[in-house]
Structure 1
Amino acid sequence: MKKRIALISEHASPIAAIGGADTGGQNIAVAELARHLAALGYEIDIFTRWDDRRLPKTLNWRDGIRIIHVEAGPVTFIPKEKLLPYMTAFTKDMLRFIKAENNRYKLIHAHFFMSALVAADIKQKLGIPFIVTFHALARVRRIHQGRNDWFPDEGFAIEERVVAEADQIVALCPQDRDDLINLYQADPGKITVIPNGFRPDEIYPLDKLFVRMALKLDPKEKIILQLGRMVPRKGVDNVIKALGYMRSKHNFEARLLIVGGESDEPDPGITPEIGRLQKLAKAEGVSDLVTFVGRRTRDMLHYYYSAADVFTTTPWYEPFGITPLESMACGTPVIGSNVGGIKSTIVDGKTGFLVPPNDPVLLGRRIIELLSSNKLMMYFKENAIRHVNESYTWMKATHLTANMYERIATQSPLRAEDEDDSLSYIDDSFEALIETIEKSRRKIRLATLDSAQAIYRSLARGGKVLVCGNGGSAAEAQHFAAELVGRFEATGRRGLPVMALTADTAFVTAWANDFTFEEVFARQVEAYGQPGDVLVVISSSGQSPNLLKAIRAARKREMFCIGLLGKEGGAAGELTDINIIVPSNETSRIQEVQLHVLHVLSHLIEQQIMADDQNVIQITEEWSISQFQMAGLSGKTADKRKIRHESTKCDR
């Protein structure tokens, strides 16, 4: 039985165009959370306000995800600051939908304070527990924006009520958690810190020269990128002032690309903030250095991140900030404000720099420092890619969220007394395995074939295969070696030189005890590995230090590296030549599919080796017969010799 979850995001639809005044990080967060929850087996309904009659009331968006457009006020765009009066209608329409479909939601996850108001009212009527991610807190926003904050004052009381009534609160960063406790007296036991993330299959580094050619940018120019919503609090004016300081005080010039706005063209009539920034650029004497690009689709963003030398983001405040993650994922260092979520995602002096939010002079100096040192830029680039892939992916965020859901759902009074948890678990586990296998079949078949061919080529040239892993993966490594040294399906084939590094328990325990467990596999690779050999690492996460060091040791010995991984590949996925990444975040599902992949590899390798051995035998027989014939032996005698040869043939 699949678990149905309701997400509420009253103004931030997952299908809205990103980059406008009311569309940004929350839209992305809701979309990605829904996508990844569905991949884990949840059924997701996203409730968002209906603002376009061209869209159906119920949209089957993706497998396992529906978007429910709720009638709340006129079916047209309304700024989010003016939506609060329509939340009563939103609640009524959502209740009608729930009752009409007889849906038994395990829980509701509300995004933003108005969605949380709806969730709190529904909890009162139906008893459904709810979780809230605020994305921005009214008191914090008012502190930083003052009169520029146009949300009604009623938001303060609503947030206080929601904090008290929510079953759990998601804080996006440590600062968010502190604000909830200090400004709202939130119960620390009800707060879970779960940062937003990025998708490695969507945001990844591209060759700088290639993307600059594709975007028609000067390949030699120093480029600063500013990307995001075009609103005053994002601090784009701070970057323009820094550009003016750099030119006037240091005679240092760089191109500033500003991506964002309400339209594909940078139209001040549609996006007033662009007009204000254009005037500022002129006043600072840098109009010729500033290029307003307009809004761009998400599939183009990693082109801009990769084309830039540095990404700047200096808002007055920022509850989290997804764009710094995306920039670092593309290997572009970030200079960001030392506020909110940004100060927790950027590692100052390692993946970029942190600066005060309104200090264009210091910002300009940091930009010059970074752009003047290729060594520093490369250092930041390598650290940035590693940092975000280890800590800030949507898969990791979703795994943490799902754990929280299960914790809340098990405490819910909605659980039926006759619900058989054990049988439900068995059914769900089979369904999850079947779903993972289906996804794997589509996604990893080519990588599996490439891996089999790489191992075969090494063995055919006289090379060998080293295999390693930890825990359950160690058992799978030994299983794989046993299949190839012994036999998998084919009888009569020769043994193949495949060694499971975990099998040498005397060495592993001695080296781990006397030196460090992180070096045990690397040490064996140094001892046994030769150029042209293959190293296979098996891991459900791809993060184990001893595996990473083994791969680096194999690289030094010019070995070919294959990763049989899960959970998006982890750090190991960046180091191996071929990745077979099982598309799941559950360790048990990953290991089950990995064992199947090892059996498939064994079959493919074995069949190719057998075919080669038969070819050698056939060639040897033909050569022997021809020699007999040349010696004047009769065909009958030759046939007898052939029979004798069959009885004594051996593998090459």
Structure 2
Amino acid sequence: MKIALVSEHTRPLAAHKGEPTCGGSVHVSALARQLARLGHRVTVYTRRGDADLPDRARMGRGAAVAHLTAGPPRRLTESESAEHTGAFATALSEALADDTPEVVHAIGWTSGLAALSAVRRSDAEPAPRVVQSFHSLNSAEQRAGLPRRTDRVRLEAALAGRADAVVVTSAEQRFELARMGVPRSSVGVIPFGVDTEHFSVEGAAASSPWRRRRDERVRIVSVTRLGAGGGADALVETMARVPEAELVIAGGPAREDLAIDPDARRLELLAKEHGVDDRVTLSGAVDRKELPRLLRSADLFVSAADYDPYGGAVLEAMACGLPVVARAAGGVTDAVLDGTTGLLLRYARPDALGRALRQLAADSTARTAFSIAAADRAASRYTWQRVATETERVYRRTLPREGDLPLAAGDDAH
């Protein structure tokens, strides 16, 4: 099968090289490579966000990324991005005319707009089938306190209604689409995945080049952005309530740029204000090839993000055998089994986080049980191989000759 993955604002090549990047980029890169391993020919179409990026690059046998010119060759803000989706749709239409796929899988609402436009312009017979996924849904973001985008809510509902198939990463997203009028039966749930060969319990564990671990302290790790919505402020404040632990926050700019980053400076001042600066370390962005070593050096993983549609960092921690304490939002709610692989909290306030972290910090037996269950759940349900296989079934269902196959093997399998 010839497949086009359309993801306008991600950086799949960076994710393929193991550079720090967003969850969407990791998703697209991993899915493309695993679909190629199933024997398909996959091209990822994304907007050129850097003048030095090649027109086309391989990501492995059968998988490639094509960078389309649409707007300035630099990273754009969300408001700037919308101005160039039309140009991206035009470039995508031309690219698909030259190399017409059987399935066009759009990931993200702007990508969906571009994909539908490109397919409408196509004169191929039969026309490519369109599968729609969402990085996130604004209706779910609103529930987490993020800004309301009425135009986006309307467009997301329209895209879900017009696509030949819809795939979401969590039961929460399917619920939100049902509230918009999209039948639950037409929406497949296929979660975000994790590379369990790279993120695993077995392997080296090291705190270097981060602050040396003190053996008498429980080490807690979080992988999150340092700015608004990432929960880093709450985590720093929480440490005053967990005196027996130390915290490493991985995220933000490169380590060498932390000194001039306003979010990092704010967190450092907050740590001093609460008297925990000797127990809180900001590591900066960590290369994905190094991240498992940092995770394996820890005893617990914590997430206080306002909204995490994927839950990718949580899954990677679970695959490394870390019990998880996290706010129940987005993909995290499906990934973490409360009381089995970790603890889910309704709110990520310092008092609630502190109680949960103290509970696990003081109970090594519970941590061991959660660790075993977390690694097993990641390996049994969330491998990228399984994600790709379930996605392939969705594609085949859209094709006329395979119309009697079920929507998705992963539907409701949580």
TM-score for both structures, normalised by structure 2:
0.90
> Which residue in the other structure is 1:376 paired with?
366
State how 1:322-341 maps to structure 2 within 5 Å. Answer: 322-341=312-331
Within the candidate set 110, 120, 127, 1:124 is matched to 120
Q: Rate the CA distance shift 1:202–1:141 in 2: closer, same or farther, 3 A.
A: same
CA distance in 1, matches of 2:203, 2:12: 30
Answer with 80-89 or 39-48: which moved more.
80-89
CA contact (8 A) 2:224 2:232 kept: no
Deviation at 1:361, TM superposition (A): 0.8
Q: Which residue number in structure 2 is paired with residue 302 of structure 1?
A: 292
Asked if 1 retains the 8 angstrom alpha-carbon contact of 2:210 and 2:281, the reply is no
Q: Trace 1:214-293 onto structure 2 (pairs within 5 A).
A: 217-218=212-213, 220=215, 221-246=217-242, 252-265=243-256, 267=258, 269-270=260-261, 272-293=262-283
Q: Tell me the amino acid that sits aligned with residue 174 of structure 2.
A: R
Deviations 1:57-91 (CA, angstroms, capped at 9, x unpaired):
12223211121111111112212342011011001
SS in 2 for 1:157: helix
Aligned partners of 2:221 and 2:247 also within 8 Å = yes
1:172 matched to which residue of 2?
A: 169
Deviation at 1:279, TM superposition (A): 2.8
Q: Give secondary structure in 2 for the equivalent of 1:267.
A: helix
One-letter identity of the residue aligned with 2:370: F
2:200 to 200, 204, 220: 204
Residues 539-584 of structure 1 deviation map (CA, whole Å, 9 limit, x = unaligned): xxxxxxxxxxxxxxxxxxxxxxxxxxxxxxxxxxxxxxxxxxxxxx
Write out aligned runs for 1:409-428 (5 A): 409-410=399-400
Superposed CA deviations along residues 361-398 of structure 1, whole A, max 9, x for unmatched, are 12111111111122111111111111211111111111
- 2:183 paired residue among 183, 187, 197: 187
Q: CA deviation at 1:176?
A: 1.2
Q: CA deviation at 1:339?
A: 1.8
SS in 2 for 1:185: coil
Distance in structure 2 (CA, Å) of the matches to 1:171 and 1:377: 31
Match of 1:69 in 2: 67
Cα deviations across residues 2-27 of structure 1 (Å, max 9, x unaligned)? x210001111121236787xx42111
Q: How does 1:316-465 map to 2 (within 5 A)?
A: 316-410=306-400
Distance 2:265 2:108 in 1: 29
Contact kept in structure 1, 2:3 and 2:43, CA below 8 Å: yes
Provide the residue aligned with 2:83 in structure 1: 85
Superposed displacement of residue 219, structure 1: 5.1
Verify the 8 A CA contact 2:211 2:281 in the aligned structure 1: no
SS of alignment partner, residue 289 of structure 2: helix
Structure 1 371/34 Cα, relative in aligned 2: closer, same or farther at 3 Å?
same
Deviation, 1:243, is 0.8
Equivalent residue of 1:68, what SS?
strand
CA contact (8 A) 2:210 2:283 kept: no
How far apart are the structure 2 equivalents of 1:278 and 1:112? 35
Secondary structure at 2:281's aligned position in 1? strand
1:406 Cα shift? 0.9
- SS of structure 2 residue aligned to 1:69: strand
Query: Is the Cα–Cα contact under 8 Å of residues 132 and 170 in structure 1 kept in the other structure?
Result: yes
Instruction: Point out the more displaced range, 107-116 or 314-323.
Output: 314-323
Q: Taking every aligned residue pair, what percent have the same amino acid on both sides?
A: 27
User: What is the Cα deviation at residue 266 of structure 1?
Assistant: 5.0
C-alpha displacement at 1:275, in angstroms? Answer: 2.8
Contact 1:235 1:357 in 2 (8 A): no
Question: Conserved in 1, the CA contact under 8 Å of 2:96 and 2:118?
Answer: no
Rate the CA distance shift 1:155–1:56 in 2: closer, same or farther, 3 A: same
Distance 1:118 1:236 in 2: 35
- Is the 8 Å Cα contact of residues 206 and 303 (structure 1) preserved in structure 2? no
Aligned residues: 396
1:605 match: none
CA RMSD of aligned residues (A): 2.2
* Partner residue, 1:137: 137
Any idea what SS the aligned residue of 1:169 has?
Answer: strand
Matched, 1:161 2:152: no
Distance in 2 between residues matched to 1:397 and 1:215, nearest whole Å: 33
On the 8 A contact 2:338/2:344 being kept in 1, the answer is yes
Deviation at 1:33, TM superposition (A): 0.3
The secondary structure found in structure 1 opposite 2:260 is: coil
1:48 paired residue number: 46
Please report the TM-score for the alignment, with normalisation by the length of structure 1. 0.58
User: Structure 2 unaligned runs (5+)?
Assistant: 404-414
What amino acid does structure 1 have at the position aligned with 2:185?
Answer: G
> 2:107 aligned to 86, 107, 111, which one?
111
User: SS of the residue aligned with 1:196?
Assistant: coil
1:358 positional shift:
3.0
Query: Which of the pair is proportionally richer in helix?
Result: 1
| In 2, Cα distance between equivalents of 1:33 and 1:207 | 24
CA contact (8 A) 2:201 2:320 kept: yes
Query: Residue 214 of structure 1: CA displacement?
Result: 7.5
Out of 8, 12, 15, the residue aligned to residue 14 of structure 1 is 12
**Structure 2 match to 1:313:** 303
Q: Which amino acid aligns with 2:135?
A: H
Task: Structure 1: give runs of 5+ residues left out of the alignment.
Answer: 247-251, 414-652
Shift of residue 411 of structure 1?
5.9
Distance 1:268 1:219, change over 3 A: closer
Aligned-pair CA distance for 1:321: 0.9
Letter aligned with residue 26 of structure 2 = I
CA contact (8 A) 1:8 1:115 kept: yes
Are 1:266 and 1:292, in contact at CA under 8 Å, matched by a contact in 2?
Answer: no
- Who is 2:408 aligned against? none
Q: 1:230 to 1:10 in 2, by over 3 A?
A: farther
The one-letter amino acid of 1:41's match is: G
Residues 300-352 of structure 1 show CA distances to partners (whole Å, capped at 9, x for unaligned) of 11111100110001212222211111111111111011222212111111111
CA–CA separation in structure 1 for the residues paired with 2:264 and 2:208: 26
Residue identity opposite 2:182 in structure 1: A
Amino acid at match of 2:89: T
Deviation digits for residues 592-637 of structure 1 (CA, Å, limit 9, x no counterpart): xxxxxxxxxxxxxxxxxxxxxxxxxxxxxxxxxxxxxxxxxxxxxx
Tell me the distance in 1 between the aligned counterparts of 2:383 and 2:58.
25
**Structure having the higher Rg:** 1
Deviation of residue 125 (structure 1)? 2.0
Distance 1:136 1:257 in 2: 27
